[in-house]
Amino acid sequence: MLNAGDLATLWLTFKIASLSTVIMLLLGTPLAWWLARTQSRWKGICNALVAMPLVLPPTVLGFYLLIMMGPKGPIGQLTEFLGIGTLPFTFGGLVFASVIYSLPFVVQPLQASFSGIGRQPLEAAATLRASPLDTFFSVVLPLAKPGFLTATILGFAHTVGEFGVALMVGGNIPGVTRVVSVQIYNHVEALEYSQAHWLAGGLLVFSFTVLLILYSVLKTQPSSQPFK
């Protein structure tokens, strides 16, 4: 059965994933909208930067985030100037790293959804003298609802399952940065396979449920996924 430490890691993981998902939606929505509509020559570079966590080893991403957020890194110097202190091995640092690591799982579904809307609904709203903001909230958001649901589910689920970035940036501090994936590693390292089974089995069921929702409830087919 799960002990107090396991329950604490589950709650911490849920908090980090929830906060990270909200931040990713706030940042990813305007970014995805711009990527879906722009003809800028910078579009390819921005798409590549957003998608890098999909192919970059988590330990590599975690290492460079650790350097950048350290006392001599640009992010670390900025946070120290703002009086926040350095972010590595803190809850805030782990949230920041989670946002960077899982951002493509939010941006790409939204970008695909925005691109699928087409120009006709936007032109129709313009003929009715709707402002760009009114058009976005009254036309784009309702039409892109499946994309938002997919982005929310994938962003949350991917953050829950992260390990390499979490360990590199957050370390293994109980109650502060020790997430479920790191706790499973601790149990296996201590040969506590029964405890590891409970947590790993829970994540297995969680992952299957996420995919079941995506492919069944949202009627999403593998061929229509934005990850190409």
Tell me the helix, strand and coil percentages in the chain, rounded to 5: 75, 0, 25
Question: pLDDT grade, residue 219 (50/70/90)?
Answer: low
Quote the CA–CA distance of 185 and 211 in Å, as a whole number: 24
27-40 core/surface letters (b: 16 or more CB in 10 A; e: else): ebbebbbebbeeee
CA distances for 85 relative to 23, 82, 92, 94, 144, angstroms: 20, 8, 10, 14, 39
Taking only the tens place, the pLDDT of each residue in 13-29 is 999 999 999 999 999 99
Average pLDDT over residues 68-88: 92
User: Is pLDDT at 224 greater than 80 in this prediction?
Assistant: no
Under DSSP, is residue 22 helix (H, G, I), strand (E, B) or coil? Answer: helix
pLDDT tens readout for residues 144-182: 998 999 999 999 999 998 999 999 999 899 989 999 999
pTM: 0.88
223 pLDDT higher than 60: no
Contact 206, 195 (CB under 8 A): no
pLDDT cut 70: percent of the chain above it: 95
Average pLDDT value over all residues in the chain: 89
